[in-house]
Structure 1
Amino acid sequence: MCKRRRYNEIKNDPELLDIEKEKRRHQYLKRKKEKKVVQLKDKTLRSQREQRRRRKENSRKYRERKQANLNLIILDDTFPKEGPSVLKEEDPLQHATCPAVQRAIRKIRYKELKKRKLLISIIDALKKENASQCKKIHSLQKKLDDTKIKT
C-alpha cells in the first residue's frame, strides 16, 4: 500500500516522474549490461517462439478488452436508462440505422448467446455432479446409521 501511494504521488508530479523514469532506465541498462536481461535475438529458438506466442496472446487479450470496453460504451448510449422493463416492451437497438452499429450489435449478441449456452451447459453438468454426490452422501449416511444401530 505504501509503495502504491508513493508511486501515485510520483505519477502526479511531472518532475518526480521524469526522475523515476530515468532511474528505472539506468537500472534496466545496468541489468542489461550484467546480462540479467536477455534480448529476444539472444535467446534460444524455443524461448523466442515461447515469448512470441505469449506476446501474441497478450496482444489479443488486450485488443479484446479494448473492444469490449468500446462495445460497452456503445451499448450504454443505446440502452434506455429506465431499466429492463422498457426493454421487454420495445428493443431500442432495432431502431439503429447505421449498418456498422447493427453488425456490431449482432456480433455482440451472438457472442453473448454463445457464452450463455456454454455457461448453461457447465451449470447443468455441475448440477448433475452435485446430484450424484448428494446420492453418495445419502447412501453413506445410511450405511453409517446402520453400523451405529448394529453396534
Structure 2
Amino acid sequence: MEIKKYIESGVLESYVLGSASEEEIRQLLLLKRQYPEIQDALFQLETDLETLARHISIPPPPGMFEKIERGINALIVPGDTPPISDRGANNRHYYNNGNQFIEVEAESSQMRVHKAWRWIMAGVFVLGKIFLIAAIYYFLENHQAQEQIQQLKTELKQYHK
C-alpha cells in the first residue's frame, strides 16, 4: 500500500470528523503505529481543523458570560438543602422550598395546544373530510363511467355483428 495515496484517500479526514467505519478506524490506528508519515499527516489535519474552527468561530456578545453566571447564581440559594421530592396523588411532585411546598405537575394526561393551533387543526380536519368526500364521489363517478363505457363497447360489438 502506498502511504501517500492512503493519506490522500480521505480516510484521515473521515476519522477526524468521526464518520469513519470501524474497519477504517482499526486500519488507520494500525498504520499510524507503523508509519510516522500517517501520524504526522493526522496531527497536521487535526491542527488545521482546530485553526479553521478558531477562525470561523463567532465570539459571544460582551457580558454574556456574566449574564449566564448571574442567572445560575440566582438559581442557587446559599445554605439551602437540596429539594426534597415526594410524589403525591395524581402524579404531582411536591418540592420543599424552605418552609413552603411548591406543587409541580409532573405528568399530565392532556396535551396543551396554543389556541391558534387548535383552529389550524380544526381547519385541517374539515379539509380532510371534504377531500375524503370528494375522493369517494369521484371514485363512484369513475366507476359508473367505466360501467357505461363497458356497456357501450358491448353494444358496439353487437351492432357490428
Tell whether the structures are fold-level matches, with TM greater than 0.5: no
**Larger strand proportion, structure 1 or 2?**
2
What is the TM-score normalised by the length of structure 1? Answer: 0.34
Q: Name which one, 1 or 2, has greater alpha-carbon Rg.
A: 2
**Larger helix proportion, structure 1 or 2?**
1
What is the TM-score normalised by the length of structure 2? Answer: 0.33
